[in-house]
Amino acid sequence: MAAFYITAGIFLTSAAVVGLVMALARRPDDAATLAAPGLEELRRATASWAPEPELASAAIPRPVRLKPPFFRLGWLFAALIAFFGLTTLLTAPTLYQRPFVFRKGLAAKGAVLNEVRVRHHSRHNTYFETRLEISYPDESGNSRTMTAMAGDNPPLSVGQTVALHFLPSGPRWAALDDDFGYSAGKLGEFFVAAATVLMIPALVLMIAGPGLRRERALLRDGRAFGARIAAVKPLGKGAVRISFHYAADGRVRSGTCSAGRGGNLRPGDVVTVLADPESSRGATIYGLSSWKVDAESVK
């Protein structure tokens, strides 16, 4: 139960952080409120613009793919999850051994040979577990010895009989029928650790996912327009928010997009934007998106 509350607390805290970040991201940007130029003025400013070769094709939807840095980030998250899974298999075998032994093993009765109370120190507290050495007969009547972990101070003593299961083909694989909360505690720790590890990519997807889907839709299905930069607002650490104007369907339209780079752009520069004037997807500057059009497939 404690593991449930901890996991729920982590999730709710993370959701609150995501909500705060998204709320701050929606704050109005002064650069986006600049007065739009006249239609003819904008057309003259973008008269020399021409779309990139991969955008000149009329074939829609265009083939798109993530740029290498973001593609590698996905592999990094996959490696993180794989490392966590491997570490769990090596350090917490009780999570998978115990259910397997109960399903495939044989029941037996054993006797406690020795009982040792083990103290563990964590960052915030000290807790105890019990290591039991147990002797039991196998399917042939031969004596085997197993070492099992149990919760703190179980009601057992040397010589007492306990119920267990064991694998005939695996002498080391045996489990107590009742380990007095040891497995439940380890399972709770596993769920807390798994929730913490999975929360990292989940938070990234929650924050960046809507923007990535929007950019992908614009690159796949958007129309290319020439646009003039209106303002470039630094956001810190090289990131910028860019506002621009472009002409579509006989109207001057405004748009903004954020990028991790783009410091070379200046007000008055002419760039290519991909936009869907008939929807609420807005527009994005081509080349600054996390996605790119697969030029080879276009050919």
Residue 107 belongs to a domain with what CATH number? 2.40.50
205 part of a folded domain: no
Q: Are residues 170 and 228 in the same domain?
A: no
Domain boundary among 115, 146, 178: 178
Q: Are residues 297 and 228 in the same domain?
A: yes
With contact defined as beta carbons under 8 Å apart, do 151 and 180 qualify? yes
Q: Are residues 95 and 55 in the same domain?
A: no
Q: Are residues 170 and 238 in the same domain?
A: no
38 part of a folded domain: yes
Q: Are residues 95 and 169 in the same domain?
A: yes
The DSSP call for residue 195 is H
Count of H-run helices and E-run strands, the chain: 7, 12
Q: How far is CA 36 from the centre of its chain?
A: 40
Residue type, 235: L
Q: Are residues 95 and 174 in the same domain?
A: yes
With contact defined as beta carbons under 8 Å apart, do 133 and 112 qualify? yes
246 part of a folded domain: yes
Is the full-model pTM beyond 0.85? no
pLDDT value for 185: 79
pLDDT value for 9: 53
Which alpha helices (DSSP H) does the chain contain, by range? 2-25, 39-45, 53-56, 68-91, 94-104, 182-221, 295-298
Domain boundary among 153, 178, 203: 178
Mean pLDDT of each 10-residue bin along the chain, 299 residues long: 47 51 42 62 88 78 76 73 74 74 89 86 75 89 87 84 87 83 79 77 76 84 90 82 88 84 79 81 82 66
202 part of a folded domain: no
pLDDT value for 162: 92
CA dist., res. 222 & res. 281, Å (int): 9
19 part of a folded domain: no
**What are the tokens at 200?**
């990292």
216 part of a folded domain: no
Domain boundary among 178, 200, 231: 178
207 part of a folded domain: no
Domain count for the chain, please give it: 2
pLDDT value for 109: 93
CA dist., res. 136 & res. 199, Å (int): 43
pLDDT value for 151: 83
Instruction: Centre a 10 Å sphere on the Cβ of residue 49 and count the other Cβ atoms it contains.
Output: 15
10 part of a folded domain: no
Write out the residue range of the structural domain in which residue 173 sits: 91-178
